Amino acid sequence: MRLASLSARVLLLLGCAAALGGCLFNERGLNSPYQVAREGLTPIQEDPVVLVATTRKPVGGKSPYFSSDRGAELVFAEARLNPPDRSITGSIASAVTAPWSVNAVGGTVSAGAASAFAQAANGKDVLLYVHGFNETFETALASAAQLSDGVAWQGRTALFSWPSGGRIIAYQYDRESAMWSRDGFEEALKALASNPSVGRIHIVAHSMGTLLTLETLRQLRSGAGEAAINKIGAVVLASPDIDIDQFEQTVRRIGPVASRITVISATNDRALAVSARLAGGIARAGSTERERLDALGVRVADASEFGSRLQVIRHDLFLSDRDVRQVIARAIERAR
């Protein structure tokens, strides 16, 4: 299984891991409002298109489409993917490899990218995925499609892709690139929020992408006001790799949307344990004690008992585990 975060890969290289203690709220057993395991095709399988807003630099009309370099401006594109093989052989293969792949990326718009992004989402709610550390453009696209497929999402599926270096040793570059992308992300969110034909905007962010998401929501509220922030529905922060002190400060400044935040945590997330060590021992929001998070008014779902024993790192359960996908679907339903 592809590991989509710095901390996961650092763990494998250094061989150090420690599950953090504590017990967070557990949503195991809740029924999903969406038919996650349903017969037939999910909407993303029927029409495998992902809307893209990115601050990466374009590299031309063929793979990898966008590089790890920072682009001069926000770019919009439409990506068509190849769904996973639904045969028995394909199902077995997808258990160990990423089942989605990129077919083509087109419709690229630079000038007026945010407006084009919002127009492409007309008439629908939006599920917007923000990836984490060490992701290429194509792996981020595959994760966006896998997420949409996993919750049988009925609206538009979208990806905000920031210029991750896609390398284990590029952690600092990735963190700075994520923060550098705040203005581009704000521009995309503002366009979506100001389009009356777009419904609710539900955001699922992973690992380092949660830092970018929270800081951008803070900017959005300050720059565009409550009308824009009220278009934001669920905000799901999966394994947030954020300094807990910074997390507390930011959540207090983003207004009522804080009550629509769900933190997916795992006390045995070894990636976050490594990240905390790299940060001088400061706990990450995704593995801090429940009491500190409860005081902020956010919802916490403990995924510590989810997943199989083979999932050693336990940092991307939001994609691989059915119970965790149900948590995401529940969060979206509450915020509709």
270-291 residue pLDDT tens: 667 667 676 677 788 877 777 8
| Range with the largest mean pLDDT of 74-83, 255-264, 279-288 | 74-83
Residue 17 forms part of a structural domain: yes
Copy the structure tokens of residue 292. Answer: 């500190």
Task: Indicate the SS3 state at residue 263.
Answer: strand
**Which residues are paired to 105 by β-bridges?**
79
pLDDT over 70 (residue 145): yes
Q: Please tell me which residue, 21 or 227, carries the higher pLDDT value.
A: 227
Q: Is 1 contained in some domain?
A: no
Give the span between the Cα atoms of 173 and 166, in whole angstroms. 10
Q: Which residue is associated with the tokens 């270096």?
A: 165
| 317 confidence band (pLDDT: 50, 70, 90) | confident
Residue 82 or 268, more confident: 82
- Is the pLDDT at 16 greater than 50? The verdict is no
Q: Is the pLDDT of residue 25 over 50?
A: no
CA-closest candidate to residue 287, choices 20, 13, 64, 68: 20
Number of domains in the chain: 1
More confident site: 91 or 6: 91
- Of the listed ranges 143-147, 164-168, 306-310, the one predicted with least confidence: 306-310
Q: Which domain holds residue 315?
A: 6-335
Give the per-residue pLDDT at 315.
59
- Answer yes or no: are the C-beta atoms of 238 and 209 closer than 8 Å: no
Mean pLDDT of 51-62: 93
Which residues are 243's β-sheet partners?
A: 284
Q: What percent of the chain has pLDDT over 70?
A: 78
What's the CATH number where 209 sits? Answer: 3.40.50.1820
Residue 56, pLDDT above cutoff 90: yes
Q: Are 332 and 148 in contact (CB under 8 A)?
A: no
Which candidate, 71, 191, 51, places its Cα nearest to that of 128?
A: 51
Strand partners, 299: 262
Pairing type for strands 201-206 and 232-238 reads parallel
Q: What percent of the chain is modeled with pLDDT above 90?
A: 61
Q: Which has more pLDDT, 19 or 175?
A: 175
Pairwise pLDDT comparison (98 vs 58), residue with the higher score: 58
User: What distance in Å separates the CA atoms of residue 61 and residue 52, rounded to the nearest whole number?
Assistant: 15
In a domain? residue 247: yes
For residues 330 and 27, the answer to whether their CB atoms sit within 8 Å is yes
Buried b (16+ CB within 10 A) or exposed e, 232-264: bbbbbbbbbbbbbeebbebbeebbebbebbbbb
Our CA angle for 152, 201, 155, nearest 5°, is 35
**Among the ranges given (143-157, 161-175, 260-274, 298-312), the one the predictor scored with the smallest mean pLDDT:** 298-312
Smallest CA-to-CA distance from 284 within 248, 321, 317, 316 is with 248
Mean predicted confidence (pLDDT) in 281-307: 80
Residue 89 has pLDDT above 90, yes or no: no
**What was the pLDDT predicted at 127?**
98
Q: Is 189 helix (H, G, I), strand (E, B) or coil?
A: helix
